[in-house]
Chains A and B, each alone.
Chain A
Amino acid sequence: MLLAGCVADAYRGRVASTNEGQIASTSADVTGLLRQWTAGDESARDRLIPLVYNRLRELAHRRLGGAQVESSLNTTGLVHEAYIRLVDAGSVNLPDRAHFLALASAVMRNLLADRARARLAAKRGGGATRVELDEYVSIPDECLDTFTELDAALRRLEQLSPRQSDLLQHRYFGGLSLEESAEAIGVSLATAKRELRSARAWLALELRGEPVL
């Protein structure tokens, strides 16, 4: 249990080529967009998403490509690596970093959700088309089930308290620290701590099938 996260294993299929030059040029772009977004420019967020999305897929592929197919990765590890590779960390402060990781955790969750839907469709025998993430990674069934449960619970929590839902999302899919989470959702550290505690108790009951409400 200590060793394995919900991991995505390598898919031995198609290989997308990566272009280091392109990566270098987007680092400055991403950092700039990130600043604009933190400063309140929402359109910058929309431009960031595809960059993050592509990078996460690329990373999944690169990390798992080649000879070391037996290896695995975890979602928050991927998100952090995306951050490291996309953002010029030296010139970024905590708010920027927190915003980026928050965004990336949402993208990561979406990638997994896409994958889960595709898997479900395949199970129903409905001529499944591979979603994009699947070009690079495949996820063990039991992990996908865990993910589906968690995802559903987070959507229910969103109805009750969007902020707490975000908080759990940042923790589980972005590996954000509490400090970063607080920054990303715009509350104090004390509030984030308090809300995380009740959210975790809520989640425990929810996953046990004994919902509070």
Chain B
Amino acid sequence: MARARAEGRAGLVSAQRWEQIQTHFDKLVSQDATARAVRLAEIASADPELHRALESLLAADDDVNAQLASIDSAFLPQFDRSRDPLRLTGRVISHFSVHEALGAGGMGVVYRAEDTRLGRAVALKFLLPHYSLDSSAKARFLREAHTAAALDHPNLCAIHEVGATEEGWMFLSMALCEGETLRARLARDGTLAVPEALEIARQIGEGLQAAHAEGIVHRDLKPANIMLLPDSTVRILDFGLAKARDQSLTETGAHFGTVSYMSPAQVRGQAVDGRADLWALGVVLYEMLTGQKPFHGSEDVAIAHAILHDTPEPPSTLRGDLSAPLERLVLRLLQKDPAKRYATAAELLRDLASIRTRGERRLDGLRMRWRREMHVATGILHSTTGRALVVGVCLTLITWAGWTAMRSRLASGAQLSPSGASSTPRGSTTSPEANRLYVLGRFFFEKKDSASFARAQDYFRLAIEKDSTFAPAYAGLAEAYSQQGTYGFARLASNFAKANEYASRAIALDSTLAEAHVSLGFIALFYDWNFARAGREFATALRLDNGRASAHLFHAWYFMATDSVNAGIAEGQKAADLEPVSPLNSVRLVGFLFYGKRYDEALARGREAFERDSSFSTLRQELARSYVELGRCAEALAVLQSSVDQHVAALGGVRGYTYARCGHRADALAERARLRRQSHATGHVSPYALAVIAAGLGDTDDAIAELQRAYDERVWAMFMIRLEPAFVVLRSDPRFVAIVRKMHFVG
């Protein structure tokens, strides 16, 4: 019927009329209500027909998403949750082997995969193709992911690593964690007991506090983004992604998943701060307590209206057992004026704590219940759907230097331009493209895995292609080559030769470039064992830029090598202070304390880092070493036992050494045999590690032989042999003394 009418109307005249209507419409939609009304009145008197058309178009525009919901949901891009829309199952991407699709979320598809480099299960979250392909979206994604990777907190699941497939699809690598979303929990139970709701709110509040402290706002906090783990931990998912997704959705004209948790400012499209997340937490808490949302409506527009104008029904009218302070707290979170809300998560946490203290006694029993129910739920869901519903994705930050060094680098670049407007690195380029490529290079460099070093080199090279005088890109190449070597991913000799060349080139272009001096120092220390030169270069670098954490860190190693252990510890401390959230710096400091025989301090510091993130294998190794030296074998074995990455501990020789020292001789021998086999097969086992185990076993000849091999292969750790507690037993052996002498230690 409509079609018959349409055929009659079609033609040039209608096309012209439509163009006219559109011109008016485009203008009207950009005007405020008053101007619009005035203009419409004018049109009404001049052309009533046009006025009618515009009125109906404007009305349709007002809630167009609701009106087109059925068509949009039928035809706009969506991905099937039960399948593998990107067909990645069975593929190997970078160092990940993809096992199965777990589900699709707001902006991506999540796969279960294995990190073949570290031999552990991970989740890979892929951006859907229509999010991932244009370069601005990609850059935004990288930026956001990078920001999110900064978040290291037990109640946050941010992003750890970013990669791309050959086709250019971006993905995030995250630890796999299984639990139940708060959304699923609420769907199952309706409401939660007050203490449990408060405990969940507290943990969300803790997570928000940590993120807000870094200046990161979630913007999309909702029950589907809140994961309840079987150990009663609550984790907030997808931190740092909301902004990228919002922009992407706006650009593609698609509509948001839900407006129910949006703050009034978000509804109005205004800029938001952390208080938007506190609002969302208020909505979530209201929902946990009452089983319903504070603002409701049949469609998005109605909900948005309610958010802007309605006062929520007091929760106590919906549930009898709510105390007055709790009700006040919930309603305060839902104040329309952000100034009347809690100013910070910390403030909220204080109030929550005082309310919780009153109900504390009931909590322990409740935790038990939660755990029990979780298992039941998990069982049920597994048996019916096999997967997906109970699977969430979290991050456990096991990053190496990671984002922090990158951030400090950008910050140091910003310092150098007094206007403060630019984040261009020092010795800067006029080519924005070169700068962009450089930043990408740095990003991959900080990941410190084999593929990333290679990619970092590619990006630095591309940056140089764009601007052959761009000194920081040469310095970047120098760092990428030298560290690729020390991490064992490439042949040392040729890598260090290249690194040396690039660092010199960078210095020729800009002799004030601190990172180039760091590189020269690094090469001198870790490869040439030219300690005097290393000391000079690090001193120069620090004179140029005293805020550079990596310079302090390597300077610390220099002091270790030259027998100034306490100076080394102080430098390690400085690096850790400059980048307090860098897991690597903390771990290194623990190591320096260990070499300084300050085992109790090492343990205190290590335990502290361990509380934050127990998945960092190198940290477990450091803890174990200190426990062993203190004779606390049970703890040493325990901390290694549950290690996520068994072979990291194995490679350092710590596992075998711990067995040997703790009376598990057979296990130590088995470990050594295993490493030897691995060494023959892959060549990737450090003779230094084998020497440590041999020394632990009392097999002096073998230890010396391995150390000789380590010297010949220029294993960098050799400069620590004088401080290595395991080698104390070798010190009187003339062969050991000869090796030490060959090292030409100074200082």
Contact = CB atoms under 8 A, between A and B. Distances in A.
B64 A200 contact: yes
B257 interface: yes
Given A1-B70, A172-B75, A201-B60, 12 more contacts: A76-B77, A77-B78, A94-B133, A159-B15, A171-B253, A193-B253, A197-B26, A197-B29, A197-B64, A205-B60, A208-B67, A213-B18
Interface string A129-172: 00000000000000100110110100010011100000000011
A77 to B, nearest CB: 6
Nearest to B131: A177
A200 B79 contact: no
Contacts of B53: 212-213
Nearest to B21: A212
B25 A201 contact: yes
B41 interface: no
B75 A6 contact: yes
A178 B251 contact: yes
A6 to B, nearest CB: 4
Interface in B45-92: 53, 56-58, 60-61, 64, 67-71, 73-83, 85-87
Contacts of A213: 9, 14, 17-18, 21, 53
A178 B249 CA distance: 10
Contact of A146 (B21, B61, B71, B79): B71
B6 A77 contact: no
Contacts of A147: 74-75
A74 B70 CA distance: 14
Contact of B134 (A6, A146, A177): A177
A90 B166 contact: yes
Contact of B14 (A72, A80, A159, A196): A159
A209 interface: yes
Interface string B1-12: 111011001110
Top 4 A-B residue pairs of the complex, sorted by shortest distance between their CB atoms: A175-B77, A159-B10, A6-B74, A204-B67
A204 B60 contact: yes
Nearest to A195: B22
A176 B251 CA distance: 11
A175 B29 contact: no
Interface in B252-305: 252-253, 257
A20 interface: no
B450 to A, nearest CB: 21
Contacts of B712: none
Interface residues of B, number: 57
Interface in B524-575: none
A73 interface: yes
Contacts of B85: 77, 81
B192 to A, nearest CB: 24
Contacts of A7: 80
Given A203-B68, A211-B6, A160 B60 contact: no
B130 interface: yes
Nearest to B104: A3
Nearest to A73: B80
B2 A209 contact: yes
A204 B80 contact: no
A171 B14 CA distance: 24
B130 A160 contact: no
A14 interface: no
A5 B78 contact: yes
B129 interface: yes
B21 to A, nearest CB: 7
A204 B134 contact: no
A23 interface: no
21 contacts: A2-B78, A4-B73, A6-B74, A77-B79, A81-B85, A84-B129, A90-B166, A147-B74, A149-B71, A150-B71, A159-B11, A161-B15, A171-B75, A171-B253, A172-B71, A177-B251, A178-B252, A207-B68, A211-B2, A213-B9, A213-B17
B73 A5 contact: yes
A68 interface: yes
Nearest to A71: B83
B167 interface: yes
Contacts of B129: 80, 83-84
A29 to B, nearest CB: 18
Contacts of B252: 171, 177-178
A152 B3 contact: yes
Contacts of A200: 61, 64, 68, 253
B264 to A, nearest CB: 24
A63 interface: yes
B19 interface: yes
B683 interface: no
Contacts of A77: 77-80, 85
A76 B252 CA distance: 13
A172 B57 contact: no
B76 A171 contact: yes
A156 B78 contact: no
A202 to B, nearest CB: 7
Interface string A50-93: 00000000000001000010011111110011011000011000
Contacts of B134: 94, 177, 179-180
Nearest to A74: B78
A170 to B, nearest CB: 11
B168 A5 contact: no
Contacts of A149: 71
A37 interface: no
B3 A156 contact: yes
B26 to A, nearest CB: 5
A39 B414 CA distance: 42
A42 B56 CA distance: 40
A203 B166 CA distance: 39
Contacts of B25: 198, 201
A176 B130 contact: yes
A90 B257 CA distance: 32
Nearest to A156: B6
B184 to A, nearest CB: 15
Contact of B80 (A6, A74, A210): A74
Contacts of A179: 134, 251
Contacts of B76: 5, 76, 171-172, 175
A80 B83 CA distance: 15
Contact of B168 (A90, A201, A207): A90
Nearest to B53: A212
A173 B76 CA distance: 8
Given A2-B257, A146-B70, A205-B56, A198 B75 contact: no
A1 to B, nearest CB: 5
B15 A1 contact: no
Contact of B73 (A1, A63, A210): A1
A209 B248 CA distance: 31
A208 B1 CA distance: 12
A76 B78 CA distance: 8
Nearest to A149: B71
